[in-house]
Amino acid sequence: MTRPPYSPAVDGRPFPGEIVWTWVAFEEGSRAGKDRPVLVLAVDGARITALPLRTRTDQQRRKQVWMDLGSGDWDRSGRSSEVQLNRVLTVSVYDVRRQGAELDEDLFAEVVRASRRYR
């Protein structure tokens, strides 16, 4: 598998390396969910491939599926976040509600490498 291109351009459209917000189900197949940040891995026409983020809490942490991202502009409160490596989402670009931030290119490459073992 080739590395997804890193091409953030905070211009209203999602690109690989950006963190955007969309509705995410709490669990696979669930109808319950909420608006959450996701890291865009790839864009194919009107579909994006992304990984969900969450604000990290130590009691929830499972290192085998979560990777620390630290804090960034995607969280207005400056809280530390992590990305779920083993849950790949496919989302319509039309369901992206707002843009959050660009992830550092080196950190994006690290996330892509780490998530490969789960995809």
CA angle (14 as vertex; 10, 17 as ends), nearest 5: 75
CATH number, position 27:
2.30.30.110
Any domain includes 32: yes
The single-letter code of the amino acid at 100 is G
47-78: pLDDT as tens digits = 999 999 988 665 555 545 889 999 988 888 88
Any domain includes 108: yes
Any domain includes 4: no
The pLDDT value recorded for residue 3 is: 53
Of the pLDDT bands very low, low, confident and very high (cuts 50, 70, 90), residue 1 is: very low
71-98: pLDDT as tens digits = 988 888 889 999 999 999 999 999 998 7
Any domain includes 57: yes
Helix, strand, or coil here: 97? coil
Any domain includes 12: no
19-37: pLDDT as tens digits = 999 999 877 677 788 889 9
- Domain total in the chain: 1
Residue 87: give the domain boundaries.
18-116
Beta strand 98-102 pairing with 66-70: unpaired
Residue with token string 């953030």: 8
Any domain includes 89: yes
